[in-house]
Amino acid sequence: MINEQISKETITAVAEKHGKDSLSQITRGVEQVARRWRETDGSAEDFQQFCVDHFLADETEREIVFQRFIKNFESLKGNLHRIYRDFNWMLHVDAGEMLPLDHLFANYDVHAHVNEDMFKTRLAFVILLNFPLHTLVEKSSQGADWSRRKWAETRLVEKFADRIPGDVKQQYTSAYTAVESYVYDYNIYMGNVLDENGEAMFPKDLKLISHWGLRDELKGQYANEDGHSRQEIIYTIMERIITQEIPAAVINNPDVRWQPESNRLQAANGNSIPSSSSEGGKRYEMLLKTFAAERLLDPHTPDNPTLVERRFNDDREILETEVEALLSEVLSAPVLQEIAALVETRLGRKLRPYDIWFTGFISGGGYPETELDRMVQSRYPNVSHFKEKINEILIELGFTAEKAKYLQKYIEVDPSRGAGHAMGGQMRYDSAHLRTRVPEGGMNYKGFNTAMHELGHTVEQVISMNDIDYYSLEGVPNTAFTEAFAFVFQARDMAVLGLESDSPESAHLETLHNIWQTMEIAGVSLLDMKIWRWMYQHPEADAASLQAAVISLAKEIWNQYFAPVFGCKDSPILAIYSHIIFCGMYIPDYAIGHIIAFQIEDYLKSHSLATEMERMCKLGCIAPQVWMKQAVGTSISVTPMVRAAEAALDAL
For residue 125, how many C-alpha atoms fall within 13 Å in the half-sphere facing its CB?
26
67 confidence band (pLDDT: 50, 70, 90):
very high
DSSP character string of 131-193: S----HHHHHHHGGG--HHHHHHHHHHHTTSS---HHHHHHHHHHHHHHHHHHHT-EEEGGGB
List the single range of 98-112, 439-453, 498-512, 587-601 with lowest mean pLDDT.
Answer: 498-512
pLDDT at 442: 85
Contact 157, 135 (CB under 8 A): no
Mean pLDDT estimate for the chain: 95
pLDDT of 516 reads: 98
Query: 335-392: per-residue pLDDT in tens?
Result: 999 999 999 999 999 999 999 999 999 865 568 888 999 999 999 998 999 999 999 9
- CB proximity list for 10: less than 8 A, separation 6 or greater: 2, 30, 34, 47, 48, 51, 52
- Look up residue 518 and give its amino acid: T
Model pTM?
Answer: 0.93
What is the CA 630 to chain-centroid distance, rounded? 23
Amino acid identity, residue 321?
T
Is the backbone peptide bond immediately before 579 cis, with ω within 30 degrees of 0?
no
- Position 184 scores a pLDDT of 94
Quick one: average pLDDT of 79-88? 97
pLDDT at 316 over 70: yes
Q: What's the CA gap between 295 and 69, in Å, rounded? A: 31
Contact 602, 640 (CB under 8 A): yes
Residue (of 68, 52, 300) closest to 169 by Cα position: 300
Q: Within 13 Å and on the Cβ side, how many CA atoms surround 534? A: 21
In the chain, domain spans: 4-182, 187-282, 284-336+501-651, 368-472
The set of residues, in sequence order, having a beta carbon less than 8 Å from that of 323 and lying 6+ positions away, is 312, 316, 525, 529, 588, 592
Residue 431's pLDDT band (cuts 50, 70, 90): very high
* Mean pLDDT, rounded, for 611-640: 97
Asked if residue 512 lies in contact with residue 648, where contact means CB atoms within 8 angstroms, the answer is: yes
Exposed / middle / buried, residue 349 (Cβ in 10 Å: 0-12, 13-18, 19+): exposed
Closest alpha carbon to 399 in 483, 453, 456: 456
Which range, of 236-245, 490-499, 576-585, averages the lowest pLDDT?
490-499
